[in-house]
Amino acid sequence: MIELIRTNDAVIISFVEALLRDAGIGSFTADENMSVLDGSIGILPRRIMIDADDADEARQLLTDAGIEHEIRRK
């Protein structure tokens, strides 16, 4: 798996999860429960992980949605 995005913005996480789900791209949100450690103030970022084979399609999907600035570069 590779990291597609890393952010502590819950809205971006939800949006990307929905985009990937609707496109049939499997994903895993890592560090989702880390808010327990930071007291739910959102300082620890969450990562959306995808299969490397889906990387090009997922990056294009985020670019088409206008959030290409969120994409993690290699």
pLDDT digits (tens, 9 = 90+) for 50-63: 999 999 999 999 99
pLDDT at site 23:
97
Output the domain CATH number for residue 19: 3.30.70.790
Structural domain boundaries enclosing 34:
2-70
Handedness of CA 48, 41, 34, 21 (dihedral sign): negative
30 three-state secondary structure: strand
pLDDT digits (tens, 9 = 90+) for 11-53: 999 999 999 999 999 999 998 777 666 666 667 889 999 999 9
Handedness of CA 42, 44, 46, 47 (dihedral sign): positive
How many domains would you assign to the chain?
Answer: 1
pTM: 0.85
